Structure 1
Amino acid sequence: MYKSLPVWITGLSMLAAMPAWAQEKKELTFDQIFTRPVSITEPLPVVRGWADKDHYIEFRNGQALSVDVKTGKTSPYTPPPATGATVNVKGNDVYVQYPDGTEVRVTSDDAVEKNPTLSPDEKYVAFTRNNNLFAVEVATKKEIQYTTDGSDVIYNGWASWVYYEEILGRPSRYRAFWWSPDSKKIAFMRFDDSKVPVFPIYSEAGQHGFLENTRYPKAGDTNPEVKLAVVPVTGGKITWADFNEKDDQYFGQPFWSPDGSALWAQWMPREQNNLIIYAIDPQTGAKKALYDEKQKTWIDWFADIYFLQGNKGFIVKSDISGWDHLYLHNMDGSLKQQLTSGNWRVREVLLIDEKKQAVYFTARKEATTRFDLYKADLKGGQPQRLSFSEFSHDVKLSPGGDYFITTYSNLNTPPRMALLNEKGKVIRELGNARGANFDSYKLAPTELKTYTTRDGLTLPLTIIWPLNMEPGKKYPVLVSIYGGPDAGTVYDTWRGQLPAQWYAKEGLIQVAIDNRAGGHLGKAGMNYIHRQLGKYEIEDYMDAAKWLGTQPGVDASRMGITGGSFGGYMTCMALTYGASVFTHGIANFSVTDWQLYDSHYTERFMDLPKDNVEGYKVTSVLTHAKQYKGLLRIVHGTMDDNVHLQNTIQLVNLFEDQGKHFELMLYPGERHGWGGAKGAHSRNETYRFVYANLLLKPLPKFFQGTN
């Protein structure tokens, strides 16, 4: 599922404690917030990475400079001579662009080549055309066609929709082929969508409209049949990996071993509770299991496998213990060393330095709402924290790991930038966003708080309080959420966005809440939601909102909530299942019943509908429609190819049959979210809703689109 950011406020961080003289500061005006936004912070240095292990690259006045980490002295930075060619598409033709500016056109037909990708040795360009896999030799322009059976339901090297959306990811642009590191082979997936149900998406455009048909497997539907293959770059025999394509299974992103001797394939059964990495022999297709992980709930695909040099082993990040940690394996798959452990989560591996026998990574160890940089020994032991203090750190590590640059902040501290060595010692401060302009304005107080769930879990939330709260007066609340598994939004970081200041000035309490599956409690917290996706989450939001309702100045009779995608689902649940707590909501492009969403995402958490009838029932908004009260605005794009408009139509149908009052806003031709004129319209209509139903006053006339 596309992880849409909360619709209202993607960042809630503002100044928490105001000194006594703060009353003398200026309040931001509407013009300064919306029309000609004023910058309340100073820009930080623009650091774009590292020139080498002792020099980082900074841009000043449009010039690239190389900065010496020890002395701070600068010199003009000249990038090393480009050695790599690139691929460009002009019209329907593919060109190879060389560093000296010359280019070679390698295709010259009217057909469309998709995802042209250079081989590592730059001698070939592979691509798909009409759902078949091809390559062309750059020097001779000789075209090689590897497959011939491509059709409207057979795709070679081009992903089926559910793989594009949920497994390979949208950045893949549907590409499902991979060059070997020695450029001698291409691995690819072959998809057969012939048994996958067709979902029609209607467009109203023109006189007659049209249907856009997508092979979209919903929960419990037949999935595409998938085969994994390797073919020599020069063409010839295709070697099919030793799997039965008729099995109900999934394949994840494959990885070539560093020497190209084997293709490492990620495999799961449809239940998604067993992840096996197989080494595939490119010559025979024979497979050998190297890694085998089982969990009672579900397992996520590995985004990366970190290979050590010289076939000395590989590192994976697994949450099998209930928390994300690093495990070092020998190349035969046997476990050599668990590198990290404890009730905290590794986020990302930045560097493996085998000379130092160290791995550098970021993690949420000191607090679940902050990120820090750590160094751990490849032989195990306690990791060393390299970043500092009660800040969240965004790190750029030098190539050798001897230095790093961190941009750090917390909820109440605008970003600062510093250069440190690997011992965590600050070499020098590079920038501070808190300048004189920042201190000129009175900003709304913000707090990072915790709430307790009905079963005793402690989870975080942030609150932006109204700018000028009056004792004894009650203020409405707007909760902005996403809420999907491992997609938390509550962090102790500075995100100071100006629109939040306007709503605070107008008297709106703005809140972000994370539930137990949001990541703060690791996989252990996510496991609660297995087979009942949405139930615990909405109950957590209800518990947080009930706690909010007991706080001074909070009007529990005006408790609004909004979100998009999974956040839209949560909003719909809040006004039905949670209608005793939430009074108003704006639900954008929402799932309303998990049987209507795609197979891979839904079944990961819910299992198949036939095996979990009660779970699908209790988590459906449709089940709880009779409990609806308050006011819900339902918003959807008519051509949403991710969360289909069908979800909204089925809920609307129930509400109408039950005589419920609600609001509906459609955006014709729009997909899973919208921008441009539709985006402006959506924002303005949201303002109207908040003013009319939460703030209980007219929308100010100086908002764009009002008269």
Structure 2
Amino acid sequence: PQRYPKAGTPNADVRVGVAVAAGGETKWMDYGETRDYLIARLHWTRDSAQVVVHRLNRVQNHLMIMAADASSGRARTIIDETDPARINLNDDFHLLADGRILRSAEKDGFRHLYLHFKEGKEDKRLTRGEYEVSSIACVDEAAKQVFYTGTEASPLGRQLYVVGFDGRGKRRITEGDGSHSVSMGPGCDYFMDTFSNLDTPSSTVLRKANGSQVKIWREADRKLLDEFDILKTEIHTFKGADGTVFYGRMIKPAHFDPAKKYPVLVSIYGGPGAQSVRNSFSGISWDQVMAHKGFLIWQLDNRGTSGRGHKFETPLYRRMGKQELEDQKEGVKYITGLGFADPERVGVYGWSYGGYMTLYCLLHAPEVFKAGSAGAAVTDWRNYDTIYTERYLGTPQENPGGYKDSSPVHAAANLKGKLLLIHNIEDDNVLFGNALQMMNAFQLAGKQFETLIYPGKSHGVMGRGRSHMMEKQTKFFEDALLK
């Protein structure tokens, strides 16, 4: 059986020790109390004299970056930060040769670059504005500059930039409207640039640090567009009832006629740490198959998803599902208002957090969503792991109402539409027990539903199993919404 510490249960008690390669006694680092604290990142200083860790409290709204002497184990706090909701960690943390620290943080609601000098001195801010620094690509200590990708040009794309350690000389390096995925060499002299946008398949080019082309490694294969009759993807921008700006992705059905009413398939993830609506090429997908069968495809990034700042992410704090659903309903209202989406034939599908949101949509807005395919869904948040779940909901002991209201298993009696529930027996992420509990709740409530269970699969379904699943999902939505 698969096991991990579930929300509210004890975590592993972790210590950090330094062992001599030649043998001898382990020296344990003294970062303080270990119970209900997380060691999330670990680094050696350049001289190997200190071990630096990112230490978080259990609910992850208090970060202590601490350095311990490798010989004595004595530790001190270098950086201490708190947040009313949570602190999002990433791997943008660089210990420089002169002892300074270059990192990214969300101090003002958007992730930006900061240069830390020493305790008690305010960090030097290198970037600012209502956009996100996505990741550090390379740190050039000799030239005193840092290369990074960010969303300054558009929240739906990624571009490569460079800025000096003094916060000056910032400039954009990559060109073209779309998304650049960058892999830069350790010397910061060259980078591999993989680029695509809505209308252009991906290409990969080797470039110098100034952006000039060295060699084309892989050209964009535009023949794919015609060979597979790829339908155009559109980006829609609109405001919700409270003025929030939303971005949606739409694929209109083949042979589109604006005078007709089409069934809608809402593709959903909707959870933290992901951004689904991007100016990038989505390729040959099941969405394209369904659009060719006469469905209107729609996807919206609701509040709670990433890429648009900490404030946009935090509304799901202590209550998952509710804000996400309200925003998804705004999206359906928007597309049905265009005149060609049938409000009586709206389906929804997703996997993992998207599977959870599919269930939540069907059970809490049955008047909007008439059919759904939910894959690998968390059905009771008490079943999921401590680190992820408690970051957003706190513990079930101190937020029992939030857990109950966020968990679909407690709303099984609300099912009115058609449901296909999919899960893998050996799922090591969202354990199979989630599906069993949901099935039991539906059966006790007298609700009919369909299931697909896959043995020998973990969190995803690949190979022949995947084609089997997609064929079933296709027929499910054809029967539910086309006929």
Give the TM-score, by structure 2 length.
0.93
Distance in 2 of aligned mates of 1:262 and 1:419: 37
Q: Does 1:678 align with 2:451?
A: no
**What is the number of equivalent residue pairs in this alignment?**
483
What do the CA deviations read for 1:520-561 (whole angstroms, capped 9, x no partner)?
321111121111122211221121122222223211211111
SS at match of 2:249: strand
Q: Does 1:357 align with 2:144?
A: yes
Distance in 2 of aligned mates of 1:368 and 1:303: 21
**Number of the residue aligned with 1:409:** 196
CA distance change for structure 1 residues 314 and 575 in 2, over 3 Å: closer, same or farther? same
Pairing of 1:582-621 with structure 2 (within 5 A): 582-621=369-408
What do the CA deviations read for 1:479-524 (whole angstroms, capped 9, x no partner)?
2222210211110011221544432222111222211121132111
**Which of 24, 31, 41 is 1:253 aligned to?**
41
Q: Does 1:301 align with 2:82?
A: no
Letter in 2 for 1:262: Q
Is 1:558–1:583's contact at 8 Å kept on the other side of the alignment?
yes
SS at match of 1:485: coil
Letter in 1 for 2:57: P
Q: Does 1:668 align with 2:432?
A: no
CA distance change for structure 1 residues 565 and 427 in 2, over 3 Å: closer, same or farther? closer
Q: Report the more deviating stretch, 456-465 or 469-478.
A: 469-478
SS at match of 1:609: coil
**Which of 504, 507, 510 is 2:297 aligned to?**
510
CA distance change for structure 1 residues 595 and 422 in 2, over 3 Å: closer, same or farther? same
Is 1:589–1:637's contact at 8 Å kept on the other side of the alignment?
yes
SS at match of 2:107: coil
Q: Report the more deviating stretch, 228-237 or 661-670.
A: 661-670
Is 1:302–1:316's contact at 8 Å kept on the other side of the alignment?
no
Is 2:230–2:284's contact at 8 Å kept on the other side of the alignment?
no
Letter in 1 for 2:61: N
**Number of the residue aligned with 1:577:** 364
**Number of the residue aligned with 2:249:** 462
Distance in 2 of aligned mates of 1:432 and 1:465: 27
Letter in 2 for 1:234: A
CA distance change for structure 1 residues 247 and 601 in 2, over 3 Å: closer, same or farther? same
SS at match of 1:224: coil
Letter in 1 for 2:374: A
What do the CA deviations read for 1:549-588 (whole angstroms, capped 9, x no partner)?
2223211211111111111100000100121211110101
What do the CA deviations read for 1:639-683 (whole angstroms, capped 9, x no partner)?
323212222222222222222221122223432222233323212
Is 1:253–1:266's contact at 8 Å kept on the other side of the alignment?
yes
Letter in 2 for 1:596: N
Q: Which has the higher contact order (CA 8 A, sep 6+)?
A: 1
**Number of the residue aligned with 1:268:** 56
**Number of the residue aligned with 1:519:** 306
Distance in 1 of aligned mates of 2:335 and 2:311: 26
Letter in 1 for 2:368: V
**Number of the residue aligned with 2:26:** 238
**Number of the residue aligned with 1:280:** 68
CA distance change for structure 1 residues 232 and 492 in 2, over 3 Å: closer, same or farther? same
**Number of the residue aligned with 1:218:** 6
1:337 CA displacement: 1.0
Distance in 2 of aligned mates of 1:618 and 1:364: 34
1:312 CA displacement: 3.8
Is 2:13–2:34's contact at 8 Å kept on the other side of the alignment?
yes
**Which of 521, 528, 533 is 2:315 aligned to?**
528
CA distance change for structure 1 residues 607 and 557 in 2, over 3 Å: closer, same or farther? same
Q: Report the more deviating stretch, 602-611 or 391-400.
A: 391-400
CA distance change for structure 1 residues 352 and 685 in 2, over 3 Å: closer, same or farther? same
Letter in 1 for 2:438: L
1:612 CA displacement: 1.6
Is 2:138–2:185's contact at 8 Å kept on the other side of the alignment?
no
**Number of the residue aligned with 1:320:** 107
Distance in 2 of aligned mates of 1:369 and 1:527: 19
Pairing of 1:41-440 with structure 2 (within 5 A): 212=1, 214=3, 216-243=4-31, 247-309=35-97, 311-330=98-117, 334-381=121-168, 383-397=170-184, 400-402=187-189, 404-416=191-203, 422-424=209-211, 432-433=219-220, 435=222, 438=225
What do the CA deviations read for 1:427-466 (whole angstroms, capped 9, x no partner)?
8877752556755775423211124334321121111111
Is 1:313–1:329's contact at 8 Å kept on the other side of the alignment?
yes
Q: Report the more deviating stretch, 429-438 or 679-688.
A: 429-438
**Number of the residue aligned with 1:23:** none
SS at match of 2:382: helix
Point out the structure with max Rg over C-alpha: 1
**Number of the residue aligned with 1:485:** 272
Q: Does 1:452 align with 2:452?
A: no
CA distance change for structure 1 residues 356 and 382 in 2, over 3 Å: closer, same or farther? closer
**Number of the residue aligned with 2:346:** 559
1:420 CA displacement: 5.5
Is 2:156–2:278's contact at 8 Å kept on the other side of the alignment?
yes
Q: Which runs of 5+ in 2 are unaligned?
A: none
Q: Does 1:624 align with 2:420?
A: no
Is 1:219–1:598's contact at 8 Å kept on the other side of the alignment?
yes
Is 1:305–1:316's contact at 8 Å kept on the other side of the alignment?
yes
Distance in 1 of aligned mates of 2:217 and 2:466: 37
**Which of 324, 336, 354 is 1:549 aligned to?**
336
CA distance change for structure 1 residues 253 and 654 in 2, over 3 Å: closer, same or farther? same
SS at match of 1:610: coil
1:405 CA displacement: 4.9
Letter in 1 for 2:291: A
Letter in 2 for 1:217: P
1:599 CA displacement: 1.2
Pairing of 1:639-654 with structure 2 (within 5 A): 639-654=426-441
Q: Percent sequence identity over matched residues?
A: 34
Q: Report the more deviating stretch, 581-590 or 429-438.
A: 429-438
Is 1:291–1:333's contact at 8 Å kept on the other side of the alignment?
no
Q: Which runs of 5+ in 1 are unaligned?
A: 1-211, 697-707
SS at match of 2:289: helix
Distance in 2 of aligned mates of 1:405 and 1:303: 20
CA distance change for structure 1 residues 530 and 326 in 2, over 3 Å: closer, same or farther? same
Letter in 1 for 2:478: Y
CA distance change for structure 1 residues 299 and 575 in 2, over 3 Å: closer, same or farther? same
Q: Report the more deviating stretch, 298-307 or 225-234.
A: 298-307
Distance in 1 of aligned mates of 2:286 and 2:85: 40
Is 2:2–2:428's contact at 8 Å kept on the other side of the alignment?
no
1:419 CA displacement: 6.1
Distance in 2 of aligned mates of 1:436 and 1:654: 49
SS at match of 2:409: helix
Distance in 1 of aligned mates of 2:90 and 2:273: 15
Pairing of 1:682-693 with structure 2 (within 5 A): 682-693=469-480
Is 1:546–1:581's contact at 8 Å kept on the other side of the alignment?
no
Give the TM-score, by structure 1 length.
0.64
Is 1:347–1:363's contact at 8 Å kept on the other side of the alignment?
yes
Distance in 2 of aligned mates of 1:552 and 1:636: 36
SS at match of 1:617: helix
Distance in 2 of aligned mates of 1:425 and 1:641: 44
Distance in 1 of aligned mates of 2:400 and 2:279: 39
CA distance change for structure 1 residues 436 and 517 in 2, over 3 Å: closer, same or farther? closer
